[in-house]
Structure 1
Amino acid sequence: MTEHSSPIRQDGLAQDFVAFAVQAGVLRFGEFRTKAGRLSPYFFNAGLFDDGAKLGRLAEFYARRLIESGLPFDMLFGPAYKGITLAAAVAIELARLGRNVPYAYNRKEAKDHGEGGTLVGAPVRGRVLIIDDVISAGTSVRESIEMIRKAGATPCGVAIALDRQEKAGSGGVESDRSAVQHVRDELGMDVVAIATLADLLAFLGRQSDAVLASHLPAVQAYRTRYGAGE
């Protein structure tokens, strides 16, 4: 059994995920510039789930959160590029847990030979769940919704690893809502997150590790400054 394959406790799934993300080096603390130009005391980079053990463990968290949510869906869709790997991995884990569903993904550029088009994988039909790492501005979600509807299917929700729960905005203009809230309210999509910023704060707040605990004030201050009401 690898360091990333210990059993997940059903109680505290989000806490287990945050601990795993920190251990894997995917969730880091310090000072990071976000796309919105903010200085964030933490950084989550799902691209660092970069080996088989970590990716498999991540897929387990997604699959268990989806099953727990009760959200009905017929297939998975992974927006290029990170979503491709995530959708494939989650489909494998769901099948392992007894829920075998098809998946598809898109190309960034249409292929003009072979099967052609921008969509790859299973035919896009029924209730389609989008799998991504985070929702920053909602652009990827809107593009995915358009592709899914164009294929004649129904986008039914989005599954993400971390909900930052912060106000959307860039160029000095802030919204009162987070990007996730925008997707829920304006695009009508259910959003299922493995963990949230509130879960990260809870994790730091119960740390006996002095180094990890030392990051709590900065993350709390960031939440106070940029947090969106949930």
Structure 2
Amino acid sequence: MKKWKKKFIEFSLKRKVLKFGNFKLRSGRNSPYFFNSKYFCTGSDLLKLGECYAHAIIQSRIHPDILLGLAYKGIPIVVATVIALKIQYNINLAYSFNRKEIKTYGDGGIIVGKSIKKNNSIIIIDDVLTSGLTIQEFINLFNIKKNNVISGIFLIFDRQEYGTTEQQSSIQEIETAYSLCKIFSIINICDLIQYLIKYNKYQKELKNILEYYKIYGSKEINY
């Protein structure tokens, strides 16, 4: 396991972003763990998180016009990321985020920040991928695919579960539906499982996770 991944997992456990228990997901699945980025809630937390995203974007060699954060958890992350890109790499990117409801007064609209124009290259910023429903609903609802190029989707954590059917993972479904789009994550469930095994941590919880992934895990899981 790469040292920085180990540090990020331990950072997530320390901040109680990564918890073990019994959690009902939006997909309807009952998960033995939950990754909740809302607990990255201090300046130092967001600084570290923004640096991780900025590094991942640089490593991807994608050159977007706009970073677009998905409401709500993607909003502080996208702000932290554009700041980190400027400070660390002197790259001055614009950002936007969506409202959950269309504003009908004042400036109106659904997008806050930089306006998204036709043929813009967009990176979508979100926190966790489970079934992929949130991302697909956003792309379809706001017609992002029709007039723009989605160059990538960047996440903190990929749960590596199958999507709407057992035939494809959530990532495969999204990458098939939006062919120019690739998905990147800072860590995924394989990283977490490897960490728990290697460092002999949370063995009871690990057993529950392994049982869960016998049911919901995508075929790409390899730990």
What residue number does 1:207 align with? 199
Gaps of 5+ in 2: none
C-alpha distance in structure 2 between counterparts of 1:124 and 1:151, whole Å:
12
SS at match of 1:168: coil
Further displaced range: 25-34 or 214-223: 214-223
SS at match of 2:213: helix
SS at match of 1:167: coil
Q: Kindly provide the amino acid, as one letter, of the partner of residue 153 in structure 1.
A: N
Q: Kindly provide the amino acid, as one letter, of the partner of residue 174 in structure 2.
A: V
- Structure 2 matches for 1:74-153, cutoff 5 A? 74-98=65-89, 99-125=91-117, 126-146=120-140, 147=142, 149=144, 152-153=147-148
- Using the size of structure 2 for normalisation, the TM-score is 0.85
Q: Kindly provide the amino acid, as one letter, of the partner of residue 116 in structure 1.
A: G
What residue number does 1:49 align with? 40
- Structure 2 matches for 1:209-228, cutoff 5 A? 209=201, 212-228=202-218
Q: Kindly provide the amino acid, as one letter, of the partner of residue 151 in structure 2.
A: C
Q: How many residue pairs get matched?
A: 215
C-alpha distance in structure 2 between counterparts of 1:151 and 1:36, whole Å:
26
C-alpha contact 2:130 2:160 (8 A) present in aligned 1: no
**Aligned sequence identity (%):** 34
Q: Kindly provide the amino acid, as one letter, of the partner of residue 131 in structure 1.
A: I
SS at match of 1:18: helix
C-alpha contact 2:132 2:163 (8 A) present in aligned 1: no
C-alpha distance in structure 2 between counterparts of 1:138 and 1:185, whole Å:
12
Structure 1 residues 213, 60: CA separation in 2 closer, same or farther (over 3 Å shift)?
Answer: farther
C-alpha distance in structure 1 between counterparts of 2:175 and 2:146, whole Å:
22
Offset, 1:151: 8.8
C-alpha contact 2:130 2:161 (8 A) present in aligned 1: no
SS at match of 2:28: coil
SS at match of 1:215: helix
Gaps of 5+ in 1: 1-10
SS at match of 1:201: helix
Q: What do you get for the CA RMSD once the two structures are aligned?
A: 2.3
**Over residues 152-203 of structure 1, what are the superposed CA-to-partner deviations in whole Å (9 max), with x where a residue is unaligned?**
432212111111011224xxxx423222221112222210111111001111
- Using the size of structure 1 for normalisation, the TM-score is 0.83
What residue number does 2:163 align with? 168
